[in-house]
Structure 1
Amino acid sequence: MKKPVLLCVDDDPQVLSAIDRDLRQEFRRDYRVVRAGSGREALAIVRELHEREEPLALILADQRMPDLEGVEVLTQARELFPEAKRVLLTAYADTEAAIRAINSARLDHYLMKPWDPPQQLLYPTLHDLLAAWQRAYKPAFGGVRLIGFQWSPKSHELKDFLAGYMVGYQWLDFETDAEAQTLLARKNLTAHDLPVVVLEDGTALASPTPTEVATRIGLTVQASQELYDVVVIGGGPAGLAAGVYGASEGLKTLVIERQTPGGQAGTSSRIENYLGFPTGLSGSELAHRAWTQAVRLGAEILAPQEVTGLCVQDGYKVLTLTDGNEVKTRAVILTTGVSYRTLDVPGMDRLSGAGVYYGAARTEARSCQEQDVYIVGGGNSAGQAAMYLATYARRVFILIRGESLAASMSAYLIEQIGQTPNIELLPFAEIAEVCGADHLEEVVVRRQGQLERRPARALFVFIGAKPSTEWVCDTIVCDGKGFVLTGRDLVTDPRYATAWQHPRREPYLLETCVPGIFAAGDSRAGAMARVASAVGEGSMAIKFVHQYLDE
């Protein structure tokens, strides 16, 4: 948070130095003292402070200045900072002007020159004025601000991005928040530029991509080395675990994540069955801890950045990124994870990001205050989202096709849901259609052959997952559903008998058909969809990387 400013103004250099010295001596711990040698210079500083959204607590201006008198300086400054305290510094002969200025310039006080000793003639008055200013002062939000429309898919994308990286931000709805409109006008932008991200230094980014925001907030999107020992593709639990163990064991390690850290687990509002956290923690918190740990141990992380191609050249693995750059490595660990399957009903594509969301319960929960929301799916992710949304929403409806949650959800979640009065389970139900002009307004629910229209603020979809491996299936062997085949699956199944590319040994446990390329986590065929197992596989993969590199 920037310190509030005390502005002192006087055209006499000696007087200005004296007042500047006395103010700093008494107030520098809590305030920033700024000096101006003329009235016009002072007003330029005031305009700059206003543009940079820095707080101005008090202006102390001399009355007799040749270009602009002190009363006029205080009057004009009041237009931009009406709450700032205004003090006129006068000689005895200017007392009458100072008294008139109490009304005309809304003067708070006037001080006679000289003010020596300041402990008696200056500080008590200023302390009283500043105490009054502090009581009324509401500090402006000092972090990143996002201005947009509530129902804009691009605004939702940026909210989800900032939340995923645990960047504290303030959401300002252009249609309902006067501050949003004022801030936009101050940046000389219009509604056509939305969404707008305003950074801590005041820089405004009009309709930016997540990558543009990432670059400005200090994330790394370009590799720093020409060659790595191991590159981990994916920053979910498996990928971050591989990054931690790879870096800690001395490997030159790079992790590349295309969206936000944590993968699907990172969107979980509460994980209560992860070892070592008896009270639970959010997926984003777990991902942030692992991210910090990997970086501290020496791993390099590119995010958001996406790998679009993978090939082998002279034994090295060459990765092509979306920006056209290439990264060369000796070994690769694929931890690309899975993504939520889409719900194929009328209206879904049109309203995606405008009331219809895949995951994103934490991002949009507050906007569901005292509204009805619907969740499709019966897995743990759906249950965790329901518990989180129930804190804000009036009612939460969980739609499942079967009779109960017992076959797909952990017992502890089923018990919690049963004890939450504003969560209702709708068995034998599915979404037939979603309706709304520019945002979700209704869902059409099909139950036992009957259709029912229901008002809805939001629909959250958790209906299973598909592996994010489309880009690599031409290079390595995947099963019919797109999951990566590894280890013994490559040599025991006759369909893939010729896929393994090393003539002198069998593949290691997590190794794909290409020697030196490993897979871990949810995108691997046969993997268990649990955070703990993904972390275990990511850690194990580093052991096999060592064995491969030692060949």
Structure 2
Amino acid sequence: MTQPAETAGRPGGRGRPVLLTVDDDPGVSRAVARDLRRRYGDRYRVVRASSGEEALEALRELKLRGDPVAALLADYRMPQMNGIEFLEQAMDLFPRARRALLTAYADTDAAIQAINLVDVDHYLLKPWEPPEEKLYPVVDAMVETWLASPDAALADVRIVGHPWSAPSFAARDFLARNAVPYRWYSAEEPEGRRLLEAAGAGPDDVPVIVPPSGEALFSPTEAELAAAVGLTVEPSTDFYDLIVVGGGPAGLGAAVYGASEGLRTVLVERQATGGQAGQSSRIENYLGFPDGVSGGQLADRARRQAAKFGAEVLTARKVTTLETQGPARVVRFADGGCIAAHAVILATGVAYRQLEAEGAGALTGRGVYYGSAITEAAACAGEHVYIVGGANSAGQSAVFFARHANCVTLLVRGTSLEASMSHYLIQQLAAIPNVVVRTGTTVVAARGEDHLQELDLRDTTGAVETVPASHLFVFIGAAPRTEWLDGVLARDRLGFLPTGPDLVVDGARPPGWPLQRDPYFLESSAPGVFVAGDVRAQSVKRVASAVGEGAMAVTLVHRFLGDR
């Protein structure tokens, strides 16, 4: 790896977080490295490169050694690979590293473009003299944000498991969806066996998770795993202004707007922020991102934005009960704990329906997956992947896995994609040579011993074809997660939550409604309990509308609080 002599052999340098700069102008490169060492050299290792390719090679070596990278500063105008192109590729290696673009005044339009394209945090105009006023405040903000991310403390989380173990997959998926970096070791490989032996465990104890503390966890629950890797699982207080239940786009939107408008806000998510949208490999029709954005990146930005405004985010906490106790709304957790607030926004989203195919349930997590399960991408290399579903999420997954698998077959029950999928995605799929769309096809059986090996596919004539398959990703239907609200709030026949005007029938307010006004637009059948996003009856199932409803719900919360 190319780096200055003064940092290459410095005692204790290895293992410290890295600040990497890349600029093809030797004078500028030396100047930025000098200024960074002057302020951060006692805590960070400054690495500089003279080209994007050289910087990527340095990042690959850092990745292999397990060294954390806190921030990347790249010049925009470089030959062969400009700064935006470098930062876009660097995100694949260190997605949580903070990013800044060094640019001249004439290139500020490019810097603004980069904010959308590669989630650039800042851009710096050259020259930045004096650094105390123009450089250090920007780098300070980047470092502070990175220190608050899992990368800062969790770069050495290790998982040992079996490739076809459902619990092992669940642990990897949980960490990946919560943007916690980890290293995966198969229990069949030498390094995996060494880790198991060091932890005093055997092959039957997997998954074994070793956090930075070194205290191994054996088949932990999600709550135990979340606590061990530094995610917040306990509330800081027992009473808030606003509780948001669910961390998808609607919930994150509500948390951002609630906290930014001065409400003491806590968001409770049972697994990972982002919801179904967070599993999307690329969302291309979301306003303001002309080049698309992955669901994970969008969720990460929203999560950081909520935290910036002071919202708490509790992970791996399942809400099981909602109660009204006088002016307070109380939510109870599965572990017996509870918190209360003046108002609640329910943004619990929907879950993919289970595949009603013989043998599919037993193979879940062992070849049959719900959602994109992006952690399986590497295992799909050279394989024939099958995807069930005809909506946007299935199409986005097909585009993603086509970059890894030898062939991707999209299995659609309907006669065409036009009724359920966006036009831009249909066009993309048609242009990808290794994607096959089979309409009028359903999965009737899944078979395999320790993992998925075969599928039975039925067409509209009733004929059944058996095909070899190792990976099946399911995106069928949308079932609301509202069983825990039965008898508490009004639900429609499908389990969705009606709100506002839908609750007023022939001028009559919902049964038990205690107020002398009709429910507000997003208000449920219980005053002070609002609903946003996909779980709401008659909602538009799109990311943008969910975010908008989350913001609108906060406005109605303020109106509700003002009525009291």
TM-score, normalisation: structure 2: 0.73
Task: Give yes or no for the alignment of 1:533 onto 2:554.
Answer: no
Task: Give yes or no for the alignment of 1:327 onto 2:328.
Answer: no
> Taking structure 1 as reference, are residues 220 and 361 closer, same or farther at Cα in structure 2, changes over 3 Å only?
closer
Give secondary structure in 2 for the equivalent of 1:471.
helix
Task: Give yes or no for the alignment of 1:166 onto 2:179.
Answer: yes
* Corresponding residue number in structure 1 for 2:363: 351
Give secondary structure in 1 for the equivalent of 2:485.
coil
* Corresponding residue number in structure 2 for 1:503: 515
* Corresponding residue number in structure 1 for 2:12: 32
Structure-1 separation of matches of 2:506 and 2:323: 25
Structure-2 separation of matches of 1:335 and 1:27: 49
> Taking structure 1 as reference, are residues 28 and 203 closer, same or farther at Cα in structure 2, changes over 3 Å only?
farther
* Corresponding residue number in structure 2 for 1:93: none
Give secondary structure in 2 for the equivalent of 1:147.
strand
* Corresponding residue number in structure 1 for 2:108: none
Structure-1 separation of matches of 2:540 and 2:371: 20
Which one-letter code corresponds to 1:504 in the other structure? Q
Give secondary structure in 1 for the equivalent of 2:484.
coil
Which one-letter code corresponds to 2:491 in the other structure? C
Which one-letter code corresponds to 1:394 in the other structure? N
* Corresponding residue number in structure 2 for 1:397: 409
Q: Deviations over 1:171-230 (max 9, x none)?
A: 21212x221112222222211221011223433222112211110121111111121111
* Corresponding residue number in structure 1 for 2:277: 265
* Corresponding residue number in structure 2 for 1:274: 286
* Corresponding residue number in structure 2 for 1:514: 526
Match of 1:419 among 428, 431, 441: 431
Match of 1:139 among 62, 65, 79: 65
> Taking structure 1 as reference, are residues 456 and 493 closer, same or farther at Cα in structure 2, changes over 3 Å only?
farther
Residue range with higher mean Cα deviation, 193-202 or 460-469 = 193-202
* Corresponding residue number in structure 1 for 2:456: 444
Q: Deviations over 1:466-504 (max 9, x none)?
A: 11111012211010000001000111368x744261331
Moved over 3 A (4+): 26-29
> Taking structure 1 as reference, are residues 293 and 493 closer, same or farther at Cα in structure 2, changes over 3 Å only?
farther
Give 5+ residue unaligned stretches, structure 2: 1-5, 17-60, 68-154
Structure-1 separation of matches of 2:7 and 2:286: 50
Once superposed, what is the RMSD of the aligned Cα atoms? 2.1
Residue 296 of structure 1, CA deviation: 0.8
> Taking structure 1 as reference, are residues 138 and 404 closer, same or farther at Cα in structure 2, changes over 3 Å only?
closer
Structure-1 separation of matches of 2:366 and 2:229: 26
Structure-1 separation of matches of 2:7 and 2:253: 49
Residue range with higher mean Cα deviation, 192-201 or 498-507 = 498-507
Structure-1 separation of matches of 2:468 and 2:239: 55
Structure-1 separation of matches of 2:357 and 2:522: 38
Structure-1 separation of matches of 2:237 and 2:214: 33
> Taking structure 1 as reference, are residues 408 and 493 closer, same or farther at Cα in structure 2, changes over 3 Å only?
farther
* Corresponding residue number in structure 2 for 1:467: 480
Structure-2 separation of matches of 1:362 and 1:184: 26
Contact 1:308 1:319 in 2 (8 A): yes
Structure-2 separation of matches of 1:539 and 1:218: 29
Give secondary structure in 2 for the equivalent of 1:278.
coil
Residue 532 of structure 1, CA deviation: 0.1
Give secondary structure in 2 for the equivalent of 1:453.
strand
> Taking structure 1 as reference, are residues 361 and 206 closer, same or farther at Cα in structure 2, changes over 3 Å only?
closer
Residue 140 of structure 1, CA deviation: 5.1
> Taking structure 1 as reference, are residues 248 and 406 closer, same or farther at Cα in structure 2, changes over 3 Å only?
same
Paired residue total? 425
TM-score, normalisation: structure 1: 0.74
Alignment of 1:166-245 (within 5 A): 166-175=179-188, 177-245=189-257
Q: Deviations over 1:285-309 (max 9, x none)?
A: 1111101100110101111111110
Structure-1 separation of matches of 2:7 and 2:358: 64
Q: Deviations over 1:424-481 (max 9, x none)?
A: 0111111010010111001111122111110111001101111111101221101000
* Corresponding residue number in structure 2 for 1:318: 330
Contact 1:491 1:500 in 2 (8 A): no
Give 5+ residue unaligned stretches, structure 1: 1-25, 34-52, 56-134
Task: Give yes or no for the alignment of 1:253 onto 2:259.
Answer: no
Contact 2:157 2:229 in 1 (8 A): no
> Taking structure 1 as reference, are residues 326 and 389 closer, same or farther at Cα in structure 2, changes over 3 Å only?
same
Structure-2 separation of matches of 1:138 and 1:263: 31
Structure-1 separation of matches of 2:7 and 2:505: 77
Structure-2 separation of matches of 1:208 and 1:138: 27
Structure-1 separation of matches of 2:443 and 2:161: 29
Contact 1:228 1:252 in 2 (8 A): yes
Which one-letter code corresponds to 2:223 in the other structure? T
Which one-letter code corresponds to 2:370 in the other structure? Y
Structure-2 separation of matches of 1:472 and 1:288: 29
Which one-letter code corresponds to 1:147 in the other structure? V
Structure-2 separation of matches of 1:416 and 1:490: 41
Contact 2:489 2:526 in 1 (8 A): yes
Which one-letter code corresponds to 2:172 in the other structure? K
* Corresponding residue number in structure 1 for 2:3: none
Identity %: 48
Alignment of 1:359-370 (within 5 A): 359-370=371-382
Alignment of 1:297-316 (within 5 A): 297-316=309-328
Structure-1 separation of matches of 2:223 and 2:516: 44
Give secondary structure in 2 for the equivalent of 1:32.
coil
Residue 54 of structure 1, CA deviation: 9.0
> Taking structure 1 as reference, are residues 450 and 509 closer, same or farther at Cα in structure 2, changes over 3 Å only?
same
Which one-letter code corresponds to 2:484 in the other structure? W
> Taking structure 1 as reference, are residues 54 and 506 closer, same or farther at Cα in structure 2, changes over 3 Å only?
closer
Structure-2 separation of matches of 1:153 and 1:372: 20
Structure-2 separation of matches of 1:172 and 1:267: 23
Contact 1:380 1:413 in 2 (8 A): yes
Give secondary structure in 1 for the equivalent of 2:158.
strand
Contact 1:378 1:405 in 2 (8 A): yes
Q: Deviations over 1:64-101 (max 9, x none)?
A: xxxxxxxxxxxxxxxxxxxxxxxxxxxxxxxxxxxxxx
* Corresponding residue number in structure 2 for 1:457: 470
Give secondary structure in 1 for the equivalent of 2:504.
helix
> Taking structure 1 as reference, are residues 152 and 501 closer, same or farther at Cα in structure 2, changes over 3 Å only?
same
> Taking structure 1 as reference, are residues 438 and 501 closer, same or farther at Cα in structure 2, changes over 3 Å only?
same
The structure having more radius of gyration, on CA atoms, is 1
Structure-1 separation of matches of 2:242 and 2:349: 18
* Corresponding residue number in structure 2 for 1:78: none
Residue 155 of structure 1, CA deviation: 0.7
